[in-house]
Chains A and B, each alone.
Chain A
Amino acid sequence: MAKKVLMCGNDACGEGAIIAGCKFYAGYPITPQNELTAYMAKRMGETGGVFIQAESELAAINMVFGAAVTGARAMTSSSSPGISLKQEGISYLVGCELPAVIVNMQRGGPGLGNIAPAQGDYFQAVKGGGHGDYKMIVLAPASAQELMDHASMAFDLADKYTNPVMILGDGLLGQMMEPVQVRTTNDPASFAIGGAGERQMTNKPWALTGCKGRKPRFIRSLLLGEGELEEHNKKLQEKFGDIKKTEVRYETFNIKDSNIVLVAYGSVARTAKASMEAAREKGLKAGLIRPITLWPFPSETINEAASRAKKFLVVEMSAGQMVEDVMLAVNGKAEVDFYGRMGGGIPTEEEILAKIEGLV
């Protein structure tokens, strides 16, 4: 029987990974995601998985690379400065077409910044912080429950596309305690692909396991032959195209009759929703689009909404990053405004409401 328990977001995220059959975790301490590392240390021991406290974030992501090479479900987590260090490994994972899950509980930057919640790593996550032409699915949970479910989902998506998947949370989501319905491994709610059934974790015809009874396999991103790398890139882009077609996820509230549509993701989306509801109470026709996948981005939905609403207000805990994707999606059909706080500042319900009132 599924049970409801009080958990912090970091722990919920860890349990979501365990539910999905994560067998390898490597991490390095950094606030505000330390609970997740400690949780994985405990749960890996209990579930027969492997936990390693690595010597650095670089080592951690490359240990995950090694575990992924064997076909194991593997994860690492960190916060902003540590995620910068993992960019090399992420690029290699994509290049080698290996599945893995990377969790970023964002904190204030740039540099060492602070340990307060922030959303300043949006560009890094969705535009490709590492080198080369690549993309990865970026999930933006907004609650402890979603952190658990997205973590489970992330492994299925990573395996489906043999590509890393990032969970982009923030320090607020990671630390906040909320009631969470703990899923079972084959609970339909924990699946990204299809409904219930056995979670497919073992069929990996590319994994290195030793060449007994088959031809040797090679995992590599180095392609030196004439035109080889371009062909490889075309194949990757085709895959990214498929992801764009099928994996866009979002939530909408009251966008049918709105004059102003808010766009926000993660923890801020919850505050934005409260502001939207307060605006409605005041008779202002406000709506909300919450992207759940930041890449692929719900551009079509935003573009459609721009046919009706005259104004958009993007709210972020950054100087304005996702707002650029909203502007691209709106494509001049409506006015796009922005409200953001930086360096650990969190937009309040009142601040957002005041901004809405100023715009309509």
Chain B
Amino acid sequence: MRRAKKKVSRLKPANQPTSKPANLVFSRPKSMCDVEMHYCAGCGHSIVHRLVCEAVDEFGIRDRVIGIAPVGCAVIAYDYWDFDVTEAAHGRTPAVATGIKRMLPDNIVFTYQGDGDLAAIGTAEIIHAANRGENITVIFVNNGVYGMTGGQMAPTTLAGQKTATTMAGRTLKNDGYPIKILDMLSVLPGAKYLERVSVHSSQEVLRAKKAITKAFKTQIDNKGFSMVEILSMCPTYWGMTSVQSAERIKNEVSIFYPIGVIKSY
């Protein structure tokens, strides 16, 4: 995890020569802005942002991709993505994506949403966008808390997990069960490609990259709705170090939310 984070924060210096030196093995994706990110140390968002940009670069779709930034920690994602981006009201992201994609079917449209945005306030929009088989890609970052507002319980918060609104830990009696959105969506014929990945280790980051690429490919090939859920770290509101957070995903979060392909066309 630490290594992956380091990669992201070490952005290409502005004066870097454009010709590729023989020993250059890693650089900033073209569709990613050369700016410092606001994310906390050990947060997974920066990694996911980068993976999206890498996929955009690989398909050569920067000039026709349109992103929709969420409400939450990634609310200013447009400061980091060097392509067309709009905002959306909290949870309405898939509805906005629907409007854009229907008017511009040849463009590549993706939403970037957190677990509060997608799994709480935006459940109606995500279910119906998937059910209509909207040919869009959804990047769903699941870190089990509301980060931007101060670490409150999310629908995906694990049982017993302490948050700002579940000080003694999430109780199933009062707070209900953690929600597995991908599994719910898997029964919908309109949802074509669904995979859950994680970014807690470099190995998992590579797997996440593959899944995100496959999701964009699904849209490029006009196959229909594609979504990747990414288990991600929030050391700040988990009250842990970056290393402990990565360990938590490995030992706890990914046990409840198993990594793997849930549905593929």
Contact = CB atoms under 8 A, between A and B. Distances in A.
Interface string B97-108: 111111110010
Given A54-B95, A59-B95, A66-B96, A208 B128 contact: no
B102 A67 contact: yes
Interface stretch (A88-96, A137-145, A305-313, A318-326): A88-96
Contact of A58 (B63, B92, B103): B92
Interface in B121-144: 124-125, 127-128, 132
Contacts of B83: 210-211, 216
B209 interface: no
Q: Which 7 A-B pairs have the closest CB atoms?
A: A66-B99, A212-B63, A210-B64, A62-B95, A62-B92, A66-B96, A67-B99
Interface string A74-100: 100000000000001100100010000
Interface in B65-118: 65-66, 68-69, 75-76, 78, 81-89, 92, 95-104, 107
Given A23-B103, A209-B104, A210-B65, 12 more contacts: A50-B102, A55-B125, A63-B99, A65-B95, A65-B96, A69-B66, A69-B96, A70-B99, A96-B87, A208-B100, A209-B66, A216-B81
Contacts of A88: 89, 92
Nearest to A51: B102
B62 interface: yes
Interface stretch (A167-175, A220-228, A337-345): A220-228
A220 B107 CA distance: 20
Nearest to B33: A216
A62 B99 contact: yes
Contact of A55 (B65, B78, B97, B128): B128
Nearest to A58: B92
A213 interface: yes
Contacts, number: 130
Given A50-B102, A74-B99, A211-B83, A218 B78 contact: yes
A66 B98 contact: yes
Given A88-B89, A211-B63, A220-B87, A59 B78 contact: no
A301 interface: no
A210 B125 contact: no
A211 B86 CA distance: 13
15 contacts: A24-B102, A24-B103, A52-B132, A54-B128, A58-B95, A59-B92, A62-B96, A62-B99, A66-B100, A69-B86, A89-B89, A208-B84, A210-B66, A211-B62, A216-B81
A6 interface: no
Interface of A: 23-24, 26, 50, 52, 54-56, 58-60, 62-70, 72, 74, 88-89, 92, 96, 208-213, 216-222, 224
A59 B121 CA distance: 12
Given A59-B125, A70-B103, A70-B104, A224 B89 contact: no
Interface of B: 62-66, 68-69, 75-76, 78, 81-89, 92, 95-104, 107, 124-125, 127-128, 132
Given A69-B86, A211-B83, A56 B103 contact: no
Nearest to B75: A222
Contact of A68 (B63, B99, B132): B99
Contacts of A217: 84
Nearest to B125: A59
B100 A69 contact: yes
A281 B195 CA distance: 77
Contacts of A209: 66, 84, 104, 107
B128 A92 contact: no
Nearest to A71: B103
Given A96-B86, A219-B86, A63 B63 contact: no
A304 B97 CA distance: 49
B75 A89 contact: no
Contacts of B78: 218, 220
Given A92-B89, A222-B75, A224-B76, A210 B96 contact: no
Contact of B99 (A64, A211, A213, A224): A64
B96 to A, nearest CB: 4
A208 B86 contact: yes
B34 to A, nearest CB: 13
Contacts of A63: 95-96, 98-99, 102
A218 B89 contact: no
A66 B103 CA distance: 9
A62 B89 contact: yes
A125 B125 CA distance: 26
A221 B87 contact: yes
Nearest to A219: B86
B73 to A, nearest CB: 13
Contacts of B64: 210, 212
Contacts of A24: 99, 102-103
A76 B123 CA distance: 21
A62 B100 CA distance: 10
A96 B86 CA distance: 9
A65 B99 contact: yes
Q: Name the residue among B76, B85, B101 with the largest chain A CB count within 10 angstroms.
A: B85
B89 A69 contact: no
Contact of B95 (A50, A66, A70, A74): A66
Contacts of B89: 62, 65, 88-89, 92
B193 to A, nearest CB: 22
A58 B123 CA distance: 12
Nearest to A69: B86
